[in-house]
Amino acid sequence: MSDLLLPLVKAGLAPLHAYKAFAKAFPAKLDANESPWPLPAEARARIAELLSQIDYNRYPDAGAHALREALARRLGVADPEALVLGVGSDEVLAMLMRCLSQPKPGRARAAVLYPEPSFVMYGMRAIIEDCEPVPVALDAHFQLDMGRMAEAIERTRPNLVFFATPNNPTGNCFRREDIERCIELAPDALVIIDEAYGAFAGKSLSALAARYPNVAMMGTLSKIGFAAARVGWAALPRRLADEVEKTRQPYNLNSLSQAVATLALTELWPTLEAQVAAICEERTRLARELAQFPALTVFPSDANFFLVRCASDALGLAAALLEHGVSVRAFRDESGPLAGHLRITVGTAAENDRLIAALRTLL
């Protein structure tokens, strides 16, 4: 009987695959770009104390006011109501596309433009929200190809343009002058600069949001130690934020996530900064260790992971690493730009050592 309902499924979903991650835990978990460091015991105790005070029989603060205030102070945003909060960056993406989906004159659907390869959810979410995904290939050095970008912007007249910088999965930052040029080429599009990995780059493009009225900044706590909380945000022009808020589900951020995220942005911030510094130090060491393998080409990274090209079977190497207790991200991209590549998250010193020992055995 359920097969009779399948014709009701949105046609655009057919080529998509549901997001899946490893269900099994591995001794060296280097596949998801999370922080590898568990919180110190005193921080965990402070969180437990805070969570014990929550009224679990009540709905959460619908406006997440304490979290907004803490985040605005941390980001230097003057108006907390200019922040749109979501369950990770993924929900923020959905809200932005849902709100800004009115097709421009002469177009059947709103266009969402982004580099490729980049964060997979830009394209997936565009399809789900009935927008037109417009991927634009990066150049051979994984930088923006400005000829292609200019052509695509002129041809598709996008509603939204996304730049993840540092970019996932390539790890590099895009050149500021290239992003600025794209902003100027698309004055009637919202240009979102996604700095999910910005903490590891040591720099931000937030000044562009102050300079240009069509620029928004996006971020998350997921990469710097609080992936379990699932808190993401966008800092928008205030009037636009008010419109995007209309697409937000009621009580979308639960009380636990709000409390933990507020604590992360205040009392626990020095701990997170120390862990980010430790990851960056390990990144330098891991790059040096990986470079010793002739079969691997390691691309420079401004993030907490490396894109690695394999001289032979990348999928086979990833499967073999699992047998050694090491999980990495393998791309099932037979002919595209990620064919033959792995993405390896920077882990703890012990996890990275396990990875290197396994590679020595396998390569």
- Residue 165 shares a structural domain with residue 215: yes
Residue 3 banded pLDDT, cuts 50, 70, 90: confident
- Where is the domain boundary, 268, 301, 326? 268
- Residue 167 shares a structural domain with residue 298: no
Residue 334 banded pLDDT, cuts 50, 70, 90: low
- Residue 230 shares a structural domain with residue 86: yes
pLDDT tops 90 at residue 264: yes
- Residue 71 shares a structural domain with residue 106: yes
- Residue 210 shares a structural domain with residue 312: no
- Where is the domain boundary, 268, 300, 326? 268
pTM tops 0.85, yes or no: yes
pLDDT digits (tens, 9 = 90+) for 29-41: 999 999 999 999 9
pLDDT digits (tens, 9 = 90+) for 208-237: 999 999 999 999 999 999 999 999 999 999
- Residue 114 shares a structural domain with residue 244: yes
> Average pLDDT, whole number, for the chain?
95
Q: Could you tell me the CATH number of the domain that includes residue 205?
A: 3.40.640.10
Contact 93, 122 (CB under 8 A): yes
- Residue 287 shares a structural domain with residue 191: no
- What is the per-residue pLDDT for 310? 96
* Residue 47, in any domain of the structure: no
- What is the per-residue pLDDT for 23? 65
Report the Cα 357 to chain-centroid distance in Å: 29
- Residue 198 shares a structural domain with residue 304: no
pLDDT digits (tens, 9 = 90+) for 145-202: 999 999 999 999 999 999 999 999 999 999 999 999 999 999 999 999 999 999 999 9
- Residue 15 shares a structural domain with residue 60: no
Instruction: Centre a 10 Å sphere on the Cβ of residue 59 and count the other Cβ atoms it contains.
Output: 10
What is the rounded average pLDDT of the residues 93-109? Answer: 97
Buried b (16+ CB within 10 A) or exposed e, 123-162: bbbbbbbebbbbbbebeeebbbbeeebbebbeebbbbbbb
- Where is the domain boundary, 247, 268, 289? 268
* Residue 278, in any domain of the structure: yes
Q: Which amino acid is at 189?
A: A
- Residue 274 shares a structural domain with residue 260: no
* Residue 46, in any domain of the structure: no
Contact 222, 34 (CB under 8 A): yes
How many domains would you assign to the chain? 2
How far is the C-alpha of 79 from the C-alpha of 88, rounded, in Å?
Answer: 21
- What is the per-residue pLDDT for 1? 45
Half-sphere exposure of 282 (CA within 13 A, CB side): 25
Domain that holds residue 276: 2-41+270-362
- Residue 92 shares a structural domain with residue 129: yes
Q: In terms of Cα–Cα distance, which of 208, 207, 204, 202 is closest to 219?
A: 204
- What is the per-residue pLDDT for 237? 95
Q: Could you tell me the CATH number of the domain that includes residue 37?
A: 3.90.1150.10
Q: Find where tokens 């996530």 sit.
A: 257
